[in-house]
Structure 1
Amino acid sequence: MARVYDVRPAGPADLPLLAAIESAADALVTDLLACDPALFDATPGERRDADPGFLLVVDRPVVGFAQVLEEEGTAHLQQLCVHPEHGRLGRGTALVEACCAQAAVRGYDALTLTTFRDVSFNRPFYERLGFVVLDQPGGVLARHLRDEAAYDAVSPRVAMRRAW
């Protein structure tokens, strides 16, 4: 039986905890790719909460979060982080599914994202959840890839989309 997690909109008490969760999750990537941790800069939860879109968290106290940006008629999964001490148990999946459901309720027909192509807990994880790689992304998605070009120096990035 699949575990059920408490996925909910982020509240004011959750926001100060998000940057530490992001830093801990980023350490998994920097260790795996043997790259400079300075390449990753955790964003304060308060700043994420101010962006257009929505911010979901999992568990109490919060151990993971997902940020979806709403921009130019799209819903884009900007960040998904679960603290490594709580990872690989379904919380990330629960967050992604909740993001898809919330995006659908808000009238979107898909959720997009960008991620590392060759990191096992990135592209393959999203493929298992129904996302497909887009060979020629345009618009907002192409801009996200351009904005993240510095990451290509350590591992190629891909754009992905899940439609419903």
Structure 2
Amino acid sequence: MTTSVRHSRPADAATISEIEAAADSLLIQRFDAADWPPPATDAERSALPGFLLVAEVVEDAAPPVAVGFVHVLEIDGHAHLEQLSVHPAHGRRGIGRRLVRAALDEARERGHERVTLRTYADVPWNAPFYASCGFVESEPDSAFHRRLIATEEALQLSAHGRRVQMTIAF
């Protein structure tokens, strides 16, 4: 199996939504959450400034299959890792870590000095995973980051566990 990361294309939209829904099912199951917010639509994701990278795998002579993505917002001078999803059928193979590294490289190339994210503190594939990638817990220090918290509160995400901001600086 070969894995590669590339920029997303318009044809990836449906697959990206499917990957996010499948990955979210792990959180829904963990939290027994009947009220989980649906994945972002292609129109919502496309309207946001930033970049979207897709991980593809190739097995044998089959065509490449998208199995994960990372979406980084670029708003008010900030680079914020908004979403990282890997289809559970392809989990625990380093694909998420590869997507994070590619996103960090892209953010650095675009002139950013740090990347932030918000996640669950106590979910093993959330904050502990990001810590293993070099992210550390940090305080929201801008209006942009405070708006993210307000959005999480409106979606009632903290009902399922403690949310934290994490940052990595280059």
TM-score per shorter chain, which class?
Answer: over 0.9
Match of 1:118 among 93, 115, 122: 122
Contact (CA 8 Å) 1:26, 1:40: kept in 2 or not? no
Unaligned runs of 5+ in 2: 57-63
Residues 1:69 and 2:73 aligned together: yes
- Once the two structures are superposed, the pairs formed by residues 87-106 of structure 1 within 5 Å of their partners are 87-106=91-110
Alpha carbons 1:117, 1:158 under 8 Å: kept: yes
Counterpart of 2:31 in structure 1 is 33
Amino acid at match of 2:99: L
Which segments of 5 or more consecutive residues in structure 1 lack a partner in the other structure? none
Q: Which residue of 2 aligns with 1:155?
A: 161
Assess if the C-alpha contact under 8 Å between 1:113 and 1:141 holds in 2: no
TM-score, length basis structure 1:
0.92
CA distance in 2, matches of 1:137, 1:54: 22
Task: Give yes or no for the alignment of 1:16 onto 2:14.
Answer: yes
Provide TM-score, normalisation by structure 2: 0.89
Give the structure 1 partner of residue 84 of structure 2.
80
One-letter code of the match for 1:100?
L
Identity %: 41
Aligned residues: 160
- Where 2:166 maps in the other structure, the secondary structure is strand
Query: More strand per residue: 1 or 2?
Result: 2
Q: Which amino acid aligns with 1:77?
A: L
Higher radius of gyration, 1 or 2: 2
